[in-house]
Amino acid sequence: MDNDIAAFCKDTNIHTRDNLERIVNEIADSIPCVFILFDFDGFSKIIDTFGKEKSDEILSIILKKIHHSLKASDFIGHIETDSFMICIKNVSSLAIAERFARHIVLLCRNTMKNGILLSAGVGVTRSPNDGTNFELLFEKCTKAMNEAKRRGGDCFVLYEDIENNSGYQRSRTGSAKEDQKYDSERIARSYNHNMMIIYDCKTDTYDYTYFVKEQFSASFDLRPLWQILRDDKILSEQYAQKFKNKIEEFKNVTIPRAHYTEFYMKNADQIWKWYRVGFVCSEPGTKVAISFTDISDEIAFHRRLTHMTEYDELTGLQNRNAFCHDVEELLANNPELATEAKSAIVYVDVFNFAAVNDIFGTSEGDRVLIYLSELITDITRDFGAACRIGSDNFAFFIKGDSEQITKAVSLVIDSFSNYDLFFEVSCFAGIYQITEEKLSVNAMIDRAALAQSLVKGKYNEKYCFYRESMRNQMLSEQEITGIMTTALNDKQFVVYYQPQFNHSTGTLIGAEALVRWQHKDKGLVAPGIFIPIFEKNGFITKLDLFVFERVCMFLKESLAQNKAIVPVSTNFSRHDIFRNDFIDNIEAIRKKYGVPAKYIRVEITESAAVGGSQYVNEFIKKLHDCGYIVEMDDFGSGYSSLNVLKDIDFDIVKLDMKFLSGETTNNRGGTILSSVVRMAQWLEMPVIAEGVENVNQADFLNSIGCDYIQGYLYSQPLPEKDYVELLNKTTIDKIHNIKEKK
What does the pLDDT look like over 362-394, one tens digit per residue?
Answer: 888 898 999 999 999 999 988 889 999 988 999
The helix/strand/coil state of 258 is: strand
| DSSP codes, 157-221 | EEHHHHHH-TTTT--SSSSHHHHHHHHHHHHHHTT-TT-EEEEETTTTEEEE-HHHHHHS-S--S
- Stretch 222-249: mean pLDDT: 91
Q: Residue range 601-607: average pLDDT?
A: 83
Please report the pLDDT score of residue 191 as a whole number: 32
Q: What's the pLDDT score for residue 113?
A: 44
Integer Cα distance of 618 and 163 in angstroms: 45
Residues comprising the chain, all counted: 742
pLDDT at res. 643: 64
Mean pLDDT for 687-703 is: 89
Give Cα separations from 100 to 93, 97, 528, 695, 697 (angstroms): 11, 5, 44, 62, 57
Indicate if the pLDDT at residue 730 is higher than 70: yes
Residue 692 and residue 667: Cα distance in Å, rounded?
19
Lowest mean pLDDT among 52-56, 83-87, 344-348, 723-727: 52-56
pLDDT at residue 682 tops 90? no
pLDDT at residue 150 is higher than 70: yes
What is the model's pLDDT at position 621? Answer: 92
Residues forming a β-bridge with 347: 395, 430
C-alpha 92: how far from chain center: 21
254 or 111: which leads in pLDDT: 254
Residues 6+ apart with CB under 8 A from 668: none
Q: In what order do the strands lie in the sheet with 384-388?
A: 384-388, 393-399, 343-350, 427-433, 463-465
78 closest CA partner among 177, 1, 179: 1
Alpha carbon distance 728, 395 (integer Å): 58
Looking at the DSSP assignment, which residues form a beta bridge with residue 326?
none
Dihedral sign, CA of 383, 387, 393, 397? negative
Q: Which residue type occupies 276? A: R
**pLDDT value of position 739:** 60
434 pLDDT above the threshold of 60? yes
Q: What is the DSSP letter of 732?
A: B
Pairing of strands 83-89, 155-158: unpaired
Percent of the chain with pLDDT over 90: 36
Name the pTM for this structure: 0.51
Binning pLDDT at 50, 70 and 90, where does residue 136 land? very high
> Above 60 in pLDDT, residue 112?
no
Window from 96-110, 123-137, 409-423 with minimum mean pLDDT: 96-110
Of 111-125, 177-191, 713-727, which gets the smallest average pLDDT? 177-191
What is the C-alpha to C-alpha distance for residues 542 and 545, in angstroms, rounded to an integer?
5
Beta-bridge mates of residue 206: 199
**3-state DSSP assignment of residue 514:** strand
Query: Coil, strand or helix: which one is 103?
Result: helix
Confidence of residue 183 (pLDDT cuts 50, 70, 90): very low
pLDDT at position 574: 82
Domains present along the chain, CATH in parentheses: 3-170 (3.30.70.270), 187-298 (3.30.450.20), 311-467 (3.30.70.270), 479-729 (3.20.20.450)
d(CA 12, CA 330): 47
611 versus 590: the higher-pLDDT residue is 590
pLDDT of 5 reads 46
Per-residue pLDDT of 510-520, as tens digits, reads 999 999 999 88
